[in-house]
Amino acid sequence: MSEHLLLEMIERMSVAATLAFVLSQTSVFRRLINRRNTNRDAILLTIFFGLVGIMGTYAGIPVNDAIANSRVVGVMAAGLIGGRLMGVSAGIIAGGHRYLLGGFTAFSCALANLCEGLFAGMIHRLYPGRPIPWWLALVAGMLGEIMQMGIILLTSRPYNLAWELVSEIALPMIVANSLGLAVFMLIIKTAMDAQEKVGAEQSHKALDIANKTLPYLRRGLNAESAHETARIIFATAGYDAVAITNADRVLAFAGAESSHHAPPSETSLTTSTRQVLVTGQMQLARDKAGIGCVHPDCRLASAIIVPLKCADRVIGALKLYYTRGNGVGQSDIVFATGLAHLFSTQLELTEIDRQAKMAARAKMKALHAQINPHFLFNTLNTITSLVRTKPDLARELLIKLSAIFRYTLHKTGQNITIDEELAQVRAYLSIEQARHGEKLVVTEAIETGLGHYRIPSLTIQPLVENAIKHGLQPKPEGGSIFLKAADCGQAIEISIADNGVGMDLATNNPLEYPSGESIGLINVHERLYGQYGGNYGLTLTSKPGHGTTITLRLPKRLNDEVEDCA
């Protein structure tokens, strides 16, 4: 009888195996394993495991006014997967049902189910967030059934019937139920591993596509970037067609039926796409009607549509098509949502970068606006002093000033060549020399071959102006300016040295303690720092009574290597 009972119970384990596979495919179970389940999920799973236990009771085999059953599989699976609370709750459901069926072992079986659920939940604590290994489930099942046999012997009366029952069912139930529990857990783990493998493959594919499309999406979502992105997805992901839209129209289409779907043939949005744009939620089209194509011979039969977002604002949609109906599966949903999230992140970073550049350019404009009036005020003062005494010279200087500002108006905020910048500096110095005469001596030492490199406009002139105003003018006898440009490998250093009054940098460093008298100096330093980074900008050396040297350091940039700042 024991051998026959064992074989019959093992045959009925197919029910538990089937239920295990069904459970592993549910989103509720995946959320539980990933620790993202809600209270509602926990309740649903508890009821499910309790029902598995009840089914194990009804699938049992009557033996001596009792039932040789597989109820323990559902109860202990609940504890192994969901913890003590779920195990005990499933034990109450399955054990309570068994108690209501009656029989001299009714109370013993109900109590055993509670204890088995609690025992399995304690084992669950050893593997938080991970499926229980099949071998541990096997051992746990054996121990759980041994515990049940002990409880029957301790609590069931009359004792002789309890002993007779345990002698009949102990070995078959211990073997069959421990195997059933191990198979239950093994099927769940295998299914989960397969899903994780598919998810990993899809994630790898999505990351590869995101990496390939990054250079295009950095330009924002437009017809060109959408076309290249759709082409890459179509060539890589294995879909029959791919489309990308913005909030108003189809930007790009690649693959099957492009003759009537691709712009400019078709730029209007389908109903399902508009719904995605409005709700920001993914939509599935299971058939041609769901796609909504009006072309009678269109072969596209199913699709997944996911939103593209920027700062929580829906700006477009990604559409992946199959030419077979109901072609969209769980792996497609994982892939599409992951890819859309990566694209959305790229587009959001692009927008942040664009806003940062706009803010930087606005700041550059403001800095130039500060420098230009400062230069104009000082120069007009110089010319004003010559109008009555030397009108011809004043006229000549006004012509030079107009030429400087005409050039400045066209080049403000741009990078110009060092030669062009030096031309402006020389024009400015000619104005200052006209004013100061022999009190201002200018010497240059410009290395050949540097003139074609680029420099932000109006960079050297404010430094020269600063040297004259704050270094030389306080000296009654005037002084000299030495302008030097040197090649330093990957960088260029331009220095403006004067033999003026100098300063004590320990107490009066204009780069560290800005004042209203150092507007030009500070602005040049901030512009260089903002455009080129912390390794570039201005440095000062000075000593009271011995003059000041301002050194300007910037990287070598040719005409085709840098964008304008404006």
pLDDT band at 453 (very low <50, low <70, confident <90, very high): very high
The helix/strand/coil state of 444 is strand
What does pLDDT average to over the chain?
Answer: 83
Give 140-167 as a DSSP string: HHHHHHHHHHHHHHHH-SSHHHHHHHHH
Confidence (pLDDT) at 362: 58
Q: What is the mean pLDDT of residues 319-336?
A: 86
User: How much is the pLDDT for 25?
Assistant: 67
Q: Which residues on adjacent β-strands are paired with residue 440?
A: 479
Length of the chain: 566
Q: Is the distance from CB of 221 to CB of 315 less than 8 angstroms?
A: yes
505 or 20, which is more confident?
Answer: 505
Q: What is the pLDDT of residues 41-94, one digit of tens each?
A: 888 889 988 988 898 888 878 877 767 788 888 899 999 988 899 999 999 999
Least confident of 314-328, 355-369, 391-405: 355-369
Burial of 302 per CB tally in 10 Å (0-12, 13-18, 19+): buried
pLDDT at 240: 93
Query: Cβ-count burial of 522 within 10 angstroms (0-12 exposed, 13-18 middle, 19+ buried)?
Result: middle
Distance CA 485, CA 419 (A): 11
| Helix and strand element counts for the chain (H, E) | 18, 14
Opening angle at CA 185, ends 181 and 186, nearest 5? 115
Task: For 119-136, write each residue's pLDDT tens digit.
Answer: 999 999 888 767 788 899
Mean pLDDT of 171-187: 86
Name the residue type at position 241: A
For residues 404-433, average pLDDT: 80
What confidence tier does 561 reach under pLDDT thresholds 50, 70, 90?
A: very low
pLDDT at position 98 over 80: yes
| Alpha carbons 319 and 303: distance in angstroms, whole number | 7
Comparing CA positions, the residue from 261, 320, 262 lying closest to residue 293 is 261
Q: How far apart are CA 551 and CA 156, in angstroms?
A: 98
Q: What percent of the chain clears pLDDT 90, i.e. is strictly above it?
A: 27
Pairing of strands 302-310, 283-285: antiparallel
Q: Determine the pLDDT at residue 510.
A: 84
Residue 52: half-sphere exposure toward Cβ, Cα within 13 Å: 32
Distance CA 246, CA 228 (A): 15
What is the C-alpha to C-alpha distance for residues 326 and 335, in angstroms, rounded to an integer? 16
Of the pLDDT bands very low, low, confident and very high (cuts 50, 70, 90), residue 407 is low
pLDDT tens-digit readout, 486-521: 999 889 999 999 999 998 888 888 887 776 666 678
Peptide bond into 131 cis (omega under 30): no
**What's the confidence (pLDDT) of residue 293?**
80
Per-residue pLDDT band at 152 (split at 50, 70, 90): very high
pTM of the model: 0.47
| Span 536-556, average pLDDT | 91
| pLDDT higher than threshold 60 for residue 1 | no
pLDDT tens figures, 465-489: 889 888 898 898 989 999 999 999 8
Domains and CATH numbers, the chain: 2-197 (1.10.1760), 218-350 (3.30.450.40), 385-555 (3.30.565.10)
What is the model's pLDDT at position 286?
A: 86
pLDDT at residue number 562: 39
Q: Using only C-alpha atoms, what is the Rg of the chain? A: 41
Mean pLDDT throughout 197-203?
71
**Distance (Å, rounded) from C-alpha 255 to C-alpha 98?**
60
pLDDT for 560: 41
> Cβ distance 162 to 105 under 8 Å?
yes
